[in-house]
Each structure stands twice: as C-alpha cells, then as structure tokens.
Amino acid sequence: MTQTLVHDGVLVIGGGLAGLSAALEAAPRKVLVVTPAPLLEACSSAWAQGGVAAALQPGDGADLHARDTAAAGGGLVEPEVTQALTRKGRETVEWLAGLGAPFDRTEQGEFAVGLEAAHSRPRVARVGGDGAGRAILSALVVAVRGAGHITTWEDGRLRALIQDDAGRVRGALIERQGRLIRLLAPAVVLATGGYGGLFAHTTTPASLLGEGLAAAWLAGADIRDPEFVQFHPTAINIGLDPMPLATEALRGEGARLVDAEGAFLLGPEADADLKSRDQIARAVHAAMESGRGAFLDARRAIGTTFPAHFPAVFAACMRAGIDPRLQPIPVAAAAHYAMGGIVADEEGRTTLEGLFAVGECASTGVHGANRLASNSLLEAAAFGRLAGRAAAGAVDIADRPAVGPTTAQDLPAEALGTLRQTMSRDVGVTRDGVGLSRALDQISVLERTVPGALPLITARLTVQAALDRRESRGGHFRSDYPHALPVAHHTVLRRAIDHEPSSAKPRETTP
C-alpha cells in the first residue's frame, strides 16, 4: 500500500549544485532533499571540470558576460534574466568560497580565472585546475550535513508529481527501497538535472533520464526548447559509458584539435578551436564520420604540466593507457547539457503553482540554443539560492484533496539501451527529418510495451520538437535545413491539465 507523509516545508528533489543551493537558502524553513543516490553521486555538477563563469577581473563586467552569453545562444537568450544572472557572478562565487569551495587564487589572493570557448575574457573561476564541480559540491554537502533545517533521503526516486484538482502541485510520489510514498509538501523544487542519459554517448551520469522534466510535463507545466541539447566536442573516446570529459579549458590553454594525421580540424589560427561549442562539436563529429578521427593534442601547450594543471583529465587518460603529455587524446562529441527544460523564472517559479525548477532541468532563458561554457554552475548556484528563498515562502493550501498517480512504470534496461542508441544515432550532433521520424517510430514501439515511462516522455518531447524545428540553430543542426530562420523562436510545449498521463505528444509550438 502506498504510504502518505506530510512534510511541512520545502521538498527539494535532486542533490546537485542547484538543489543544494536551494536547500541551504530556504532556511529556516524545514527542507527535505530527496536524491536517488548518496550526495555527490549521480549528479552532473560534481563532474563539472570547468568552473563558475563570472566577471571577476578588471576589464570584465556583467554586461560583457551577458553579451557573450547572448552571442553564443543563437538568438534565443532572454536578455533580462541573463543580466540578472551575470550580475550575480561575483556574489555567487564569493558565497561558494564562503562555504569552503577552495577556488584557485592568484598570488594577490584574487580569484584565478581561465578562458573557455566563446568567452571574450578569461572568466571561469576554477578549483584545482579541472576539479571545480566536485570541490564546490563537496563544500555544499558539508554545509547541508551541518544544517539543522535540512533532512536528506539519499535513496528516493521521483516517480510523479501530486496535485490538487486545481492543478496546484502538492507533493511528489517518491519510490524508496521499492516502496512508493506520497510525500505532501507546500512547495516542490525540481532540481533533477538534464537528460544526457537518454543518449548512448554522454558525458553526464547515465542515470539522468529527464524524469523531472517528464513529471512536470505530465502535471501540466510548460516546457521550452527541449530539442536544444549541447554536445561537448571533447568527450574522451575510450569506450567508456559515460564518457569522461576533457575540459574546454585545455583548449583555452592552447591544446589543439587535430585529425589522425595531425591536421587541424578547424584551421591553424590560434583561436580556431575556441569557437562556440556547437561549431566545434560539428567539426569533431564530421571528422569522426569521415574516418579522419578526432584528437585533442595538448603535448605542446600543456605537456609536462598536465598532471598538475588538469589532474582529473590526466587520471582518466592514464587509466585508459593514454599519456596526454606524449600522445593526442582521442575525442568525440557527446551529449552534455540540455539547454531547454521546464519553463521557470529566476526564482525557479514554473507555470504551476507550488512547483519550482532549478538547474539543468529548468529553462530560465539564459542558455538559448547553445549554453556558454561554465554558465551552468553559475546559474545553478545563483538561481538555486533565489528559488530556495522563494519556495520557503510557500504556504500549504490543504483545502483541496491531493490527487495523482499512485503507481509508476519503469523502463527496463533493454528498452533503455535501445532508446539510448536511437537517440545518439538519430537525434545527435547532426539530425535530419528521416532520422528524427525513425526515432519517433522507435519511441512509439517502446511506448507500447512501457506506456508512461518518464524517460520515453522526455525523449518524445525532445525528438518531436527537433522534428518540428525546421532550421539549424545553436546545438540543433539539421542537415536538411542547414540554415537558421531569419527570426528566432522558442518552442513552447503546453499540455492541458487533464491529469491523464497517457498523452505525451507536444500539442503546441508557438513562435
């Protein structure tokens, strides 16, 4: 029998940087953080190598950072929310440092910043070269463990959202140790991450299957731009799943992309490999498809300093028998980040009362069609904090009965494997109508055997939106529509709140 529990506070689902930032800032309101695995596991934030993008140096500023963000975003970056984010750069880095995140410093004690692709200034605050994500998240985990207002369940999986008959979100159905629990709370914050795990080739934890996005969609929340998936050009291609990352900062330090013969993939100019991430990913993908191969050559630019400056990448290479001081690193493009997601404002408010969304599962408008490197950790912490404070103000409206699903459908491993292969083959770096239609057919086949499985819903939304977008923009490239339309438009998917979870097809694409 499904148990019902009432939590009089904020329910945060997800334990990455966004979720934990929200949990900390919701104090003194009580917070329950539910994650599918122990904190620091199964979240992308802990794997981030780059750092936190913020205007920290003289000569840089929030306006310039916002301009770079917009330039990378293919015409779909929302200016106001982006300004709000970039203005929070220094404050956010200082907050994280205050919690104990050991950012790299200059001799003068300032934050040391690195250059990443498409930033016009060095502005990525790093930790230990390439260890930013784990170090920052570790500091937050210590703070969370010491915070009296926070309780964690580190073995709970989101299965559905619970609503009242007016559509207000009243809690979530959580699976814990094989048992379903209806957990009622005045505010639910989704911080469930992206959906890189829907792809066979990904740099994210494979367990990230877009389940939060699907649950929000079924509840009637607006979803925006799910077709915009960012592919990272330098996933280390050594047959591992997920694929270890070779951070973009390596190219910021002068490492070059070459083919098997040593010819430059993007040209000999010093900044050729620092174009926006979508352009680089397409070049790497094309080199792989043509059989030329793709490699990141750090021998000259980084050489013997590799172990000290990029210890995580160095360790990943050495485990695979590749010494990056002596040989180029084999790379391929892999699904890395979802730009779209659940429509949310900077305080995480979605289109459903009682529901907040933060971090990668949210679409706040700052990433457009192509996220600027290292803006995601900034967004996760800065907007996560705002969402925590906003959610803390939510009051329970218990005058209507909470309704919603009491069962959940899992996607068996074999079906997930088929889906992942399909997504990487047909919904990858280069797409076309034939491949996208084939992917939809495959999803329909899987839906017949496992109707209502959350990963299939997110996959369908992504593929249908990619098929409907008959242009190329940012991370979405269609070989049959290789140019951008003159006017950029968002995809907004809206589902009537009828509480019937069977209908997961996008109904509306609005300009």
Instruction: Name the residue with tokens 């659940």.
Output: 342
Torsion sign (Cα): 120, 123, 128, 132? negative
If one asks whether residue 374 binds ligand SIN (CB under 6 A), the answer comes out as yes
Nearer to ligand SIN, 249 or 258 (CB): 249
Using CB under 6 A as the binding criterion, the count of chain residues that bind ligand SIN stands at 10
Q: How far is CA 180 from the centre of its chain?
A: 27
Residues in 324-353 that interact with ligand SIN by CB under 6 A: 337
Which whole-number Å values give the CA distances from 276 to 136, 173, 331, in the listed order? Answer: 25, 40, 17
Contact residues for 315 (Cβ-Cβ < 8 A; gap 6+): none
If one asks whether residue 472 binds ligand SIN (CB under 6 A), the answer comes out as no
Shortest separation between residue 126's beta carbon and ligand SIN, angstroms: 9
E-assigned strand segments in 134-216: 150-153, 156-164, 169-176, 179-184, 187-190
Q: Which of these ranges, 69-77, 157-165, 241-249, 341-349, lies near ligand SIN under the rule CB under 6 A?
A: 241-249
CB 49 within 8 A of CB 133: yes
Nearer to ligand SIN, 133 or 212 (CB): 133
Shortest separation between residue 233's beta carbon and ligand SIN, angstroms: 9
**Phi, psi (rounded to 5 degrees) for 281:** -60, -40
Nearer to ligand SIN, 366 or 463 (CB): 366
Nearer to ligand SIN, 86 or 464 (CB): 86
If one asks whether residue 248 binds ligand SIN (CB under 6 A), the answer comes out as yes
Nearer to ligand SIN, 194 or 506 (CB): 194
Active-site annotation, residues? 277
Shortest separation between residue 506's beta carbon and ligand SIN, angstroms: 27
**Interaction pattern, residues 49-78, with ligand SIN; x per rule: CB under 6 A:** xx----------------------------
If one asks whether residue 249 binds ligand SIN (CB under 6 A), the answer comes out as yes
CB 461 within 8 A of CB 491: no
Shortest separation between residue 374's beta carbon and ligand SIN, angstroms: 4
Shortest separation between residue 332's beta carbon and ligand SIN, angstroms: 14
Q: Where are the alpha helices (DSSP H) in 404-453?
A: 413-426, 433-449
Nearer to ligand SIN, 45 or 163 (CB): 45
CB 44 within 8 A of CB 23: no
**Phi, psi (rounded to 5 degrees) for 19:** -65, -45
Nearest 5°: the CA angle 302, 308, 311 is 95
Query: What totals of helices (H) and strands (E) does the chain contain, helices first?
Result: 14, 21
Q: Which of 373, 391, 457, 459 lies at the binding interface for ligand SIN (CB under 6 A)?
A: 373
Residues lying near ligand SIN in the complex (CB under 6 A) are found at 48-50, 247-249, 337, 373-374, 376
